């Protein structure tokens, strides 16, 4: 129910007293509302849903997760080879 | 795209699937709650990579599918009014009410507009002070903050010609309803990652303990879904039942405190009727008293509406994971995307639509499920 | 390009009902707006019908109507669409496009300047495609009934020698080629649609494809069919072929060229690039032994620089288009019902 995609904050400003910004989604930019992430800085990544930034994406955690998955995956590759080999 | 592409790689997904195959020694039934997860699973064909032992059933995490028929009929009646500009997410446009859908209302002259964000609807209200702008505020907790902020800003900025037709539902009560239903087969949940990004994870330990089901907070990309499934299967194999976060880059245990603060201010918990399921106590939100003037149900008196659900529709059973869409007698016959009987066939992430679109496809010689 | 209003038209800065009524206002519109833009002898004869020389081969005939909102979008307008759309229909049939007619349905209140700009774009597109707009018509509808400007174009061309194309001609083993990046047009238009706007360098890919088709048809024998994937996107075009030839088609998701910006815009709005409209791309299905040569011919042409082999026809699952996804699972590539709508779920 929740199509939220990662975007990089490229601009932050205020409009009618609300914290707004522009995010870059892989080459496409759109205005988003940053009211729910008052600490988010330009250059950081966030998940955006229906025009609102709802969660900060943590780069270090993402890298950690990928590393763990890749390791899990290594074990999987060996099994895959066993099965098909 | 960063933070997406890395989690979509084919080789990584296949290796994770191999791990799942190795981990599962007995049959297990898992439910992914979120319609977006259902869509992703079927769109990538992830369920084909799973071993026979692991069965995925699809949950009621489709706010479009569970919006009560009466509310859809109210939306249609409001949208048909000449003074109204009716704004909605695209998802709702083809959902059948008791006889029409919003598309048909537009064809008949209603001013129905698709927007990306409720803030777009608010802007329209500011630009057209002579019209009444109504926004169809559907959603699970992920969309709550957006809908709440639109109403809050309307009040702050005195935009009197704006109102919202609210259909906000909550995931944990729905999960509990599934677990408590007689004949429930679900043994573990993949909790909706973006709901948890907003609300945090505190609602799930009681469920895990009371019912003995693992709950793994899971994302939406192939690697996320497969790692969520793997973690759930490992817990099941070890006889464990606790809450795990497999979507750590986006979800913190406490969620988004600022969002929860505004949600608590603008909404209050209420009993809600779920289309196809019935009333689940304290499972939805309505506007709190201080914001009730922006409630479109209050502002527009559309009278008592006679609703009529098709007797052939089994959406409710599908939403609770009790029936797979192809098992429904009407699937592909009376009920198709062109002639949907219920919302699960219309919504882009309704299970029936997903099965119809993507088919249960086995390449070697057999034909896909789409009739 | 700036459009300056010719003196006799300046009394009426917007279209009025009279412009479609066949009287003086209509005549002035034809003489001072359409004629100067489309300049050619057949049109200037101003008869009720254009008299044209006989074609040097089988006549190919096609019609299409063009409706787009907004009228002007990044990379084009309804004008270029109206010309290239019909030119491309003729090209997909294997014809050399020759002549077009253009019927305009205009909304009362349409600024004349807007019409002038659209017509200029049509004229430029026609010149670029080497076709002449030889006859036409204008009608005006009351305000609130027309979305500004609808254009219907009908085109005639002559079939190239040795060409025998049909969507029913595809056989198992035939190779599917795509001429380039899909989804550009639909997303470029979406980027300026009210309520959904986003900033992007994306432009519509609207262009004539007849010279690209000619390049592919240099060796016409092995070419089964050409199809331009317009509304409904790549998926719809593939569906038509699968159905009419009663073969299965299997395409590789990772082989289909999609620009990163199109992918990103689709992610943002929850759309599938394979269902998004194109206005300057084609699919070619060719016999397997000729596939590499056809690909090379496409890549040598400016409109086919990014051409790729995306899949092939199979005897399995006749009538069904299957997609091998990024994780190497296979699923049905469906055809959308109606318009693809942005979603949040």
Helix (H) or strand (E) holding C188: helix C184-190
CB contact under 8 A, A61 and B248: yes
Residues C76, C77, C80, C82: what is their CA dihedral angle, to the nearest 10 degrees?
Answer: 150
Shortest Cα distance, chain B CAs vs residue C263, angstroms: 9
> Cα(B180)–Cα(B165) distance, rounded to whole angstroms?
30
Residue B365 pLDDT greater than 60, yes or no: no
Radius of gyration from C-alpha coordinates of chain C: 21
Per-residue pLDDT tens over the stretch A21-51: 999 999 999 999 999 999 999 999 999 999 9
The ranges assigned to domains in chain B are 1-298+308-358
Q: What is the mean pLDDT of residues B170-180?
A: 95
* Any A CB within 8 A of C263 CB: yes
Per-residue pLDDT tens over the stretch C108-121: 999 999 999 999 99
Do residues C73 and C185 share a domain? no
> Is the domain covering B1-298+308-358 a CATH 3.40.50.11740 domain?
yes
* Any C CB within 8 A of B94 CB: yes
Domain end: C108, C143, C159, which one?
A: C159
CB contact under 8 A, A52 and B117: yes
Closest in B347, B368, B370 to C345, CB measured: B347
| Domain encompassing residue C28 | 7-159
Per-residue pLDDT tens over the stretch C326-341: 999 999 998 887 778 8
Do residues C191 and C323 share a domain? yes
Do residues C174 and C212 share a domain? yes
CB contact under 8 A, C265 and A28: yes
- The CATH number linked to C13 is 3.30.1330.10
If you count residue pairs, one on A and one on C, with CB atoms under 8 Å apart, how many are there? 43
* Any A CB within 8 A of B17 CB: yes
* Any A CB within 8 A of C265 CB: yes
- The CATH number linked to C311 is 3.90.650.10
Percentage of the residues of chain A whose pLDDT score is greater than 90: 76
* Any C CB within 8 A of B104 CB: no
Q: 3-state SS string over C184-224? A: HHHHHHHCCCCCCCCECCCCCCCCCCHHHHHHHCCCCCCEE
Residue B19 pLDDT greater than 50, yes or no: yes
Number of Cα atoms under 13 Å in the Cβ half of residue C210: 28
**Tokens at C245, concatenated:** 């030839």
Res B56: pLDDT: 94
* Any A CB within 8 A of B197 CB: yes
Q: Are A50 and C269 in contact (CB under 8 A)?
A: no
Please check whether residue C178 lies inside any domain of the structure: yes
Per-residue pLDDT tens over the stretch A51-82: 999 999 999 999 999 999 888 766 656 665 55
* In A1-85, alpha helices (H): 59-84
Give the range with max mean pLDDT: B268-277, B312-321, C98-107.
C98-107
Do residues C150 and C177 share a domain? no
Count structural domains, chain C: 2
pTM of structure: 0.91
b/e map C62-78, b = 16+ CB within 10 Å: bebebbbeebebbbbbb
Q: Is B245 helix (H, G, I), strand (E, B) or coil?
A: strand
> Cα(B310)–Cα(B296) distance, rounded to whole angstroms?
27
Per-residue pLDDT tens over the stretch B320-331: 888 889 999 999
* In B110-256, alpha helices (H): 118-127, 144-156, 171-180, 193-199, 204-211, 222-238
Q: What is the mean pLDDT of residues C64-84?
A: 94
Number of Cα atoms under 13 Å in the Cβ half of residue B81: 18
CB contact under 8 A, B195 and A2: yes
Do residues C60 and C107 share a domain? yes
pLDDT band at B361 (very low <50, low <70, confident <90, very high): low
């Amino acid at each position: 129910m929740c199509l939220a995609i990662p975007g990089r904050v490229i601009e932050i400003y205020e409009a009618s007293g609300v914290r707004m910004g522009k995010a870059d989604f892989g080459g496409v930019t759109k205005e988003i509302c940053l009211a729910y992430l008052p600490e988010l800085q330009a250059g950081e990544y966030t998940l955006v849903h229906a025009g609102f930034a709802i969660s900060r994406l943590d780069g270090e955690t993402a890298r950690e997760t990928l590393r763990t998955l890749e390791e899990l995956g290594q074990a999987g590759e060996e099994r895959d080879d066993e099965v098909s080999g | 795209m960063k933070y997406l592409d890395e989690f979509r790689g084919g080789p990584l997904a296949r290796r994770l699937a191999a791990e799942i195959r190795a981990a599962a020694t007995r049959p297990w039934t898992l439910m992914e709650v979120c319609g977006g997860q259902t869509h992703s699973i079927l769109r990538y064909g992830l369920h084909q990579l799973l071993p026979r032992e692991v069965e995925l059933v699809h949950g009621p995490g489709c706010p479009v599918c569970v919006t009560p028929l009466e509310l859809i009929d109210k939306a249609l009646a409001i949208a048909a009014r000449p003074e109204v500009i009716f704004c909605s997410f695209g998802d709702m446009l083809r959902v059948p009410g008791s006889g029409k859908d919003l598309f048909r209302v537009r064809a008949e002259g209603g001013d129905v507009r698709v927007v990306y964000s409720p803030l777009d609807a608010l802007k329209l209200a500011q630009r057209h002070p002579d019209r009444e702008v109504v926004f169809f505020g559907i959603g699970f907790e992920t969309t709550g903050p957006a809908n709440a902020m639109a109403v809050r800003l309307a009040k702050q900025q005195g935009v009197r010609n704006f109102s919202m037709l609210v259909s906000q539902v909550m995931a944990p009560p729905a999960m509990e309803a599934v677990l408590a239903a007689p004949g429930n087969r679900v043994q573990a949940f993949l909790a909706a990652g973006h709901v948890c990004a907003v609300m945090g994870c505190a609602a799930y330990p009681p469920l895990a303990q009371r019912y003995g089901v693992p709950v793994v907070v899971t994302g939406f990309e192939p690697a996320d879904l497969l790692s969520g499934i793997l973690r759930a299967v490992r817990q099941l194999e070890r006889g464990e039942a606790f809450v795990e976060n497999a979507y750590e880059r986006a979800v913190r245990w406490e969620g988004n405190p600022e969002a929860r603060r505004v949600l608590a201010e603008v909404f209050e918990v209420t009993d809600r009727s779920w289309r196809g399921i019935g009333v689940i106590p304290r499972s939805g939100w309505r506007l709190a008293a201080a914001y009730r003037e922006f409630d479109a149900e209050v502002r527009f008196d559309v009278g008592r509406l006679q609703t009529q659900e098709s007797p052939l529709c089994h959406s409710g059973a599908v939403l609770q994971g009790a029936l797979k869409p192809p098992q429904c007698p009407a699937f592909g016959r009376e009920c198709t995307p062109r002639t949907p009987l219920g919302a699960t066939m219309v919504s882009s992430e309704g299970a029936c639509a997903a099965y119809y679109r993507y088919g249960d496809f086995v390449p070697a010689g057999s034909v896909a499920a789409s009739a | 390009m700036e459009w300056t209003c010719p003196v006799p038209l300046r009394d009426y800065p917007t279209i009025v009902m009279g412009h479609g009524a066949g009287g003086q206002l209509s005549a002035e519109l034809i003489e001072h707006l359409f004629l100067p833009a489309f300049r050619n002898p057949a049109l200037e004869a101003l008869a009720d019908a254009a008299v044209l020389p006989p074609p040097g081969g089988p006549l190919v005939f096609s019609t299409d109507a063009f409706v787009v909102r907004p009228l002007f979008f990044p990379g084009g307008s309804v004008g270029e669409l109206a010309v290239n759309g019909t030119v491309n229909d003729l090209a997909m049939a294997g014809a050399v496009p020759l002549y077009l007619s253009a019927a305009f349905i205009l909304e009362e209140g349409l600024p004349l300047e807007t019409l002038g700009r659209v017509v200029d774009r049509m004229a430029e597109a026609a010149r670029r495609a080497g076709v002449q707009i030889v006859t036409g018509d204008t009608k005006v509808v009351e305000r609130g009934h027309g979305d500004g400007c609808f254009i219907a174009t009908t085109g005639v061309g002559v079939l190239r020698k040795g060409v025998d194309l049909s969507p029913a001609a595809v056989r198992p083993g035939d190779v599917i080629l795509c001429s380039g990046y899909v989804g550009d047009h639909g997303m470029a238009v979406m980027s300026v649609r009210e309520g959904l706007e986003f900033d992007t360098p994306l432009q519509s890919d609207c262009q004539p494809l007849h010279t690209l088709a000619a390049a592919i048809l240099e060796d016409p024998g092995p070419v089964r069919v050409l199809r331009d994937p317009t509304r409904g996107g790549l998926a719809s075009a593939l569906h038509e072929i699968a159905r009419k030839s009663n073969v299965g088609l299997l395409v590789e998701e990772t082989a289909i060229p999609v620009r990163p910006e199109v992918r990103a815009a689709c992610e943002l709005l929850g759309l599938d690039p394979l269902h998004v409209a194109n206005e300057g791309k084609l699919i070619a299905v060719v016999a397997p032994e000729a596939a590499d040569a056809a690909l090379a011919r496409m890549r040598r042409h400016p409109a086919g620089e990014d051409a790729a082999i995306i899949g092939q026809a199979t005897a399995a699952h006749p009538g069904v288009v299957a997609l091998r996804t990024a994780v190497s699972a296979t699923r049905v590539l469906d055809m959308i019902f109606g318009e693809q709508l942005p979603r949040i779920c």
